[in-house]
Amino acid sequence: MSYLENRSEEVKALHNIYISNKEIPEYLKELIDVPEIMRLSGVDQNSGIHLTGFDTIEYQYSVLDHSLGIALILENFTTNKNQVIAAFLHDIAVPAFADSAYHIDEKNFNADDTALSVYDAIVGSDKLFNYFIKNDISIDEICDYTVYPLAYNVSPHLCAYRLENLLHHLFLNHMCSESEIEELYQNLVVAPNEENIPEFCFMDERKAEKFCILSLDSFHDFRSYESKAAIQFISETLAAMVRREVISRKDLYQFSDRVIMEMGVSCSDKRISDRWKYLPSLNKVYTKFNEVEGKHCYKFDSDLEYVNPLMRLESGEYIRASNRFPICIEKINTYLNSDTDLYFYMDYED
């Protein structure tokens, strides 16, 4: 069964909203069949957090689901095909378990194991390279989707990357119904922001307010200590696999989450296999201002990413939600001032 057919009904429904119930364009369908892209259907967008016992993120959504979602959003709002392709390929070089793999300290890697870039992944794929040659597409225009501000911009502005992350979490984590997602999405237009840069903008003030509040709840899930603990646990397990040569770092860029996990579960190193077997039972994290004696304590910051959406007033003026609704600025300030850098530890000990 192909990837498009194999998507869950919820993911299909979400993608249909993005494309306004039109057909996925053929040029994207052609790219989906490339093996290097298909691998992303087996890499979790949220770094494997759903595999734990925590309830912050309980759904599975692949990097390919996310990448296609961004591409469909841009296809719906723009006519720049290169921008759509660049966004679709922006995570082609992501390793298995995504951020969990990125958190592995460099000292765990062999000197000749280097991370892939988008450029490396494209030129290393015969099918992708030939696709760009055949369609007279400059690889240089595809390798960095951040040059397209509607695809990616800085927080708290709303771009396709941030919009897709939020909408899929709101829907799949049951914070919004399908009709609510569609109402929010259909209210968006592209407008110039304060810096005269194109940005997604709400035409209805109340929908901008609602989206602002919901987005802050979503970002809290992404940077919660539960999410940090899950990423840290998986990261340490992957690092042990690399150090003990169960896998190479290169394997992380060639295989899916499931394959890497199966290698760990079936390996002869009981410390590694036990960690993978324990993962579904990981459901408690403890936070402290100072390190606790006798515990493996961790501390790392999460990006304080959030959205303060642009909206259009009846007067025709464009302003941020926080400039119109006191509750928005109150919740933004609470979010920005909440703790993100306490020490934390888990029950599990090797």
Name which residue leads in pLDDT, 85 or 340.
85
User: In whole numbers, what is the pLDDT of the chain averaged over residues?
Assistant: 92
Q: Is 27 a domain residue? A: yes
What confidence tens digit (pLDDT) does each residue in 23-38 have? 999 999 999 989 999 9
Q: Please determine, for residue 1, whether its predicted confidence score (pLDDT) is greater than 70.
A: no
Query: Mean pLDDT across the stretch 323-329?
Result: 96
Enter the tokens of residue 78: 């723009």
What confidence tens digit (pLDDT) does each residue in 234-244 have? 999 999 999 99
Query: Mean pLDDT across the stretch 333-344?
Result: 88
Q: Is 193 a domain residue? A: yes
Q: Please determine, for residue 205, whether its predicted confidence score (pLDDT) is greater than 90.
A: yes
Give the integer Cα–Cα distance in Å for 82 and 141.
7
Query: Mean pLDDT across the stretch 237-256?
Result: 93
Query: Mean pLDDT across the stretch 81-108?
Result: 86
**pLDDT tier for residue 338 given thresholds of 50, 70 and 90:** confident
Residues of the domain holding 149:
3-225+302-337
Q: Is 279 a domain residue? A: no
* Integer Rg of the chain from CA: 21
Residue ranges with strand state E in the chain:
188-192, 198-202, 285-288, 310-312, 318-320, 343-346
pLDDT computed for residue 300 by the predictor? 80
Give the integer Cα–Cα distance in Å for 6 and 11.
10
pLDDT computed for residue 308 by the predictor? 97
Query: Mean pLDDT across the stretch 117-145?
Result: 87
Q: Please determine, for residue 67, whether its predicted confidence score (pLDDT) is greater than 70.
A: yes
pLDDT computed for residue 122 by the predictor? 84
pLDDT computed for residue 115 by the predictor? 61
Residue 307 sits in a domain whose CATH number is 1.10.3210.10
Q: Please determine, for residue 171, whether its predicted confidence score (pLDDT) is greater than 70.
A: yes
**Own/partner pairs for 241-245, CB < 8 Å, 24+ apart?**
241/267, 241/272, 242/104, 242/108, 242/109, 243/108, 244/269, 244/272
Give the integer Cα–Cα distance in Å for 19 and 74.
9
Q: Is 7 a domain residue? A: yes
Name the percent of the chain lying above pLDDT 70. Answer: 96
What confidence tens digit (pLDDT) does each residue in 294-312 have? 888 988 877 788 999 999 9
Q: Please determine, for residue 54, whether its predicted confidence score (pLDDT) is greater than 60.
A: yes
Q: Is 243 a domain residue? A: no
Q: Is 130 a domain residue? A: yes
Q: Is 84 a domain residue? A: yes
Give the integer Cα–Cα distance in Å for 162 and 230.
22
The structural domain count of the chain equals 1
pLDDT computed for residue 108 by the predictor? 57
Q: Please determine, for residue 246, whether its predicted confidence score (pLDDT) is greater than 60.
A: yes
Closest by CA to 223, choosing from 95, 339, 64, is 339
User: At 262, is the secondary structure helix, strand, or coil?
Assistant: helix
**pLDDT tier for residue 90 given thresholds of 50, 70 and 90:** very high
Give the integer Cα–Cα distance in Å for 78 and 117.
26
pLDDT computed for residue 118 by the predictor? 84
pLDDT computed for residue 111 by the predictor? 46
Per the listing, tokens 């100072």 go with 290
What is the separation, in whole angstroms, between the first and last Cα of the chain? 40
Q: Which pTM was predicted?
A: 0.94
Name the percent of the chain lying above pLDDT 90. Answer: 75
pLDDT computed for residue 63 by the predictor? 98
Q: Is 43 a domain residue? A: yes
Q: Please determine, for residue 106, whether its predicted confidence score (pLDDT) is greater than 70.
A: no
Phi-psi category of residue 245: left, alpha or beta, with phi > 0 → left and psi -120 to 50 → alpha: left
